[in-house]
Amino acid sequence: MKTIFVDTAALIALGNKQDSFHPAAWQKQQELVKSQTHFISSDFVIAEFCNAFSRVKFRTTAVQMVKSMDGDFSQ
């Protein structure tokens, strides 16, 4: 199984439909899921993502995305 590190820019692109990289990020994420790629990240990335999405219009998206992540990011 392939493993990749997900950084803040990827999470922001996936979470913000207005981001210029959203379509490409969404397509790549779907391809990686289909190939059963394992995603890893870190507490720092999650914190940075939540900070970037702290504005009211993005909070619900941030909460949903973080809740959908499975795992402990303290590695």
In a domain, 74, yes or no: no
pTM of the predicted model as reported, rounded to 2 decimal places: 0.78
Q: If pLDDT is split at 50, 70 and 90, which confidence band does 71 have?
A: low
Q: What is the pLDDT of residue 22?
A: 97
Place of tokens 């981001």: 19
In a domain, 51, yes or no: yes
Beta bridge partners of 4: 39
In a domain, 73, yes or no: no
| For range 49-62, the mean pLDDT | 85
In a domain, 43, yes or no: yes
Q: What is the pLDDT of residue 75?
A: 44
In a domain, 75, yes or no: no
* Spatial distance between the Cα atoms of 58 and 30, rounded to a whole number of angstroms: 22
Closest CA to 51 of 38, 66, 40, 41: 66
In a domain, 13, yes or no: yes
Q: How many domains does the chain have?
A: 1
In a domain, 8, yes or no: yes
Asked whether the beta carbons of 46 and 38 are under 8 A apart, the reply is no
* Spatial distance between the Cα atoms of 42 and 60, rounded to a whole number of angstroms: 21
- Domain that includes residue 59, residue range: 3-68
Q: If pLDDT is split at 50, 70 and 90, which confidence band does 61 have?
A: confident
